[in-house]
Structure 1
Amino acid sequence: MTRYLISFDDGAMDPIPDEDLPDVGKAAHAVVQEAVNAGVWVFGAGLQRQRASVVATDGTVTDGPYPETKEVIGGFVVVDVVSREEALAWAARFAVACRCAQEVRLLMPDPEMDAMVRRADGR
């Protein structure tokens, strides 16, 4: 299977009226439960709206994001699916539930990291 990042931009949900947010949350959690039940859920979360801290390679910490950053991730899901088409189908479900567009990106495979995780999990 292949992992995909499904994400949306910070502020993408701002147009949603506050009184609708509980319904959006319920709808999003229902899609998460579907993904868990389907065995494709890896991880996901919404991100707090805040300025990021950027740690440079020399260890220097600055407030970010970098000035050239135009968009910041507001939330994301990682799914492990058979195909890009399946990832797009899950993104469509999240788009409907969250009432905002979702970006889908293939995560680079890393067999060595996967092996480390399996060993740590005792698999």
Structure 2
Amino acid sequence: MTRYLISFDDGAMTFPEEDLPEVDKAAHAVLREAKDAGVWVFGGGLQSQRASVVATDGTVADGPFPETKAVIGGFSIIDVPSREDALKWAAKFAAACRCAQEVREIMHDPAA
């Protein structure tokens, strides 16, 4: 099996605020489906623009960073047999969250 990152950009969810309970319910239904299917690893939403960058010398810079064009708003890590399976799960999350999802394969590191 291979792990995939499914994510969406902060600000991609552009539906009216009154739709949030319905979107939340739909997204959690897909999450439960992924758990029940045994493919869910981990995921969550991220605080908007609340990043810190730690340099190689240990210096810390706290955001928001205006030069950043896009930041991740939320993500899911799934473990599935193929990219096609990952794309199917991304389609479910896209429909539930009402926004496009990006899919990236996580490189396997046998030493990790």
TM-score (structure 2 length as normaliser): 0.94
Per-residue deviation at 1:112? 1.8
Change (3 A) 1:101 1:4: same
Match runs of 1:1-12 below 5 Å: 1-12=1-12
Q: Secondary structure at the match of 1:92?
A: helix
C-alpha distance in structure 2 between counterparts of 1:66 and 1:86, whole Å = 35
Structure 2 matches for 1:10-49, cutoff 5 A? 10-13=10-13, 15-49=14-48
Q: Distance in 2 between matches of 1:74 and 1:5?
A: 13
CA-CA distance at 1:65 after TM superposition: 5.9
Is the 1:25–1:98 Cα contact (8 Å) retained in structure 2? yes
Equivalent runs, 1:96-111 vs 2, <5 Å: 96-111=95-110
TM-score normalised according to structure 1 size:
0.86
* Ranges of 4+ aligned residues in structure 1 off by more than 4 Å: 65-68
Q: Which runs of 5+ in 1 are unaligned?
A: 114-123
Secondary structure of the 2:29 match is: helix
The one-character-per-residue Cα deviations of 1:46-84 (angstroms, maximum 9, x if unpaired) are: 011133111111100012365653210000000000000
Decide whether the 8 Å contact of 1:54 with 1:65 is kept in 2: no
State how 1:104-123 maps to structure 2 within 5 Å: 104-113=103-112
Contact 1:95 1:102 in 2 (8 A): yes
- Amino acid in structure 2 at the alignment position of 1:21: L
Structure 2 unpaired stretches of 5+: none
Q: Is it true that 1:74 corresponds to 2:73 in the alignment?
A: yes
> Quick check: which has more Rg, 1 or 2?
1
Answer whether contact 2:9 2:73 (CA < 8 A) is retained. Answer: yes
Q: Secondary structure of 1:79's partner?
A: strand
Q: Which amino acid aligns with 1:9?
A: D
Aligned pairs, how many? 112
The share of aligned pairs that are identical, in percent, is 76
> What is the alpha-carbon root mean square deviation over aligned residues?
1.3
